[in-house]
Amino acid sequence: MIEEHWDNYTSSEKEQFQRAARRLLKNTFIVRDKDDDNRKIYFFIAKRPDPFREYFKYIGFDIAVDRENGVVMLQNDRSVSETRRIQANRIQLKKFESIVLCCLWTIYVDRISKGSLKRDIIIGITDLRFELEKYGLKDQIDNKTLMINTIDTFKKYNLVDVIGKIGDVDCSIRIYPSIQFALNGEEFRKFVEKATERFKYADEDDGFDEEEIDEFDE
């Protein structure tokens, strides 16, 4: 029971637990190698994940710890039936945001599959531009405000970070290993087929309707 764990915590550990739980609810992902703050939270959770599992189970969630990639994530409790699962780990993305997410996912998986030893990948804006052009998004690529808002959405969930300023030629994007869990391979394939078809026939205004997509693979 969570009460037993709580009683065994020191005052400092209780504060760390509260802070880590709030961070998971806010960001969904904790990435070990992002910065010192995330590293401390990651190791606190990874060392003793059971108290967090018991705590979040009361509200229909569970946590997963991927030690190889250094990621802790909040996810739906698999013991809860599909119809009763809370959908708080789903967000509404506009089609452009969804395509950008798919492009970042593709770039990351491709780099890792080619033997990159680092778990986080740094790419240039030109790398992302090349992927986006495959979907015919030439006009949207140079929309600075649109791109900033899109990347900020993914930063909120610890999927990426920006090095420099969006719009500058030397701007880079750091893709964290958490992006692997934003969607699985089958989900990616189906979504790209669907999105590509819609972009092919949609007019300019329709191209920015909302599209629901998982934050992570349940």
- In this predicted model, what pLDDT tens digit does every residue of 64-117 receive, in sequence order? 999 999 999 999 887 654 555 455 556 778 888 988 998 999 999 999 988 877
Name the residue ranges covered by the structural domains of the chain: 2-84, 90-214
pTM score:
0.84
- Sequence-separated (6 or more) residues with CB below 8 Å from residue 144: 166, 167
Average model confidence (pLDDT) across the chain: 84
Report the topology of domain 2-84: Arc Repressor Mutant, subunit A (1.10.10)
Q: State the residue for tokens 């920006």.
A: 162
* pLDDT tens by residue, 117-159: 788 999 998 899 889 888 887 677 788 899 999 999 999 999 9
